[in-house]
């Protein structure tokens, strides 16, 4: 038997960073993502969202890739939301996403960060957070 523990912090936003995930939509979306992920064998350790983006800490399985997990969660959740007709317009996630590995020593800190998104974003916008992550992990944007 193989033993694997690869933790990944995932972040992606709504299309054009529109602030559409509000109130009861947030709870319904997170519940649906959780149920769907269990069915697909995706282990979400911690997740949370605010109006314009979502954070997840996931553990990769032996046959899983980051891109496949993101594709399954984003695709199915947007399809489900659109079928529910909760929003006036069509719901879409942004095409791109952010993913970085998380060391064992940082897992609790990332869990806390994800769990406290509402509080965190009272102080800092998603754009500011995104820029910090890009700089912290040495990613270059297309404009650079």
The CA angle 144-54-131, to the nearest 5 degrees, is 25
Phi, psi (rounded to 5 degrees) for 115 = -65, -25
CATH class of the domain whose range is 6-136: alpha beta
pLDDT of residue 29: 95
For helices 66-84 and 23-39, the axis angle rounded to 10 degrees is 130
pLDDT of residue 144: 45
pLDDT of residue 10: 97
pLDDT of residue 42: 97
pLDDT of residue 143: 52
pLDDT of residue 141: 61
77, 35 contact by CB (below 8 A) = no
In the predicted model, residues of the chain with pLDDT beneath 70 are 141-144
pLDDT of residue 102: 97
């Amino acid at each position: 038997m193989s033993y694997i523990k690869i933790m990944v912090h995932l972040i992606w936003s709504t299309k054009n960073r529109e602030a559409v995930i509000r109130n009861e939509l947030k709870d319904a979306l997170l519940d649906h993502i959780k149920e769907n992920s269990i069915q697909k064998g995706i282990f979400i350790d911690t997740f949370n969202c605010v109006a314009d983006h979502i954070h997840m800490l996931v553990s990769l399985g032996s046959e899983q890739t980051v891109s496949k997990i993101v594709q399954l969660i984003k695709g199915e959740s947007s399809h489900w939301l659109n079928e529910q007709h909760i929003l006036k317009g069509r719901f879409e996630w942004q095409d791109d996403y952010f993913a970085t590995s998380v060391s064992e020593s940082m897992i609790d800190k990332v869990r806390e960060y994800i769990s406290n998104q509402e509080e965190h974003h009272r102080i800092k916008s998603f754009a500011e957070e995104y820029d910090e992550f890009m700089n912290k992990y040495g990613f270059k944007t297309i404009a650079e």
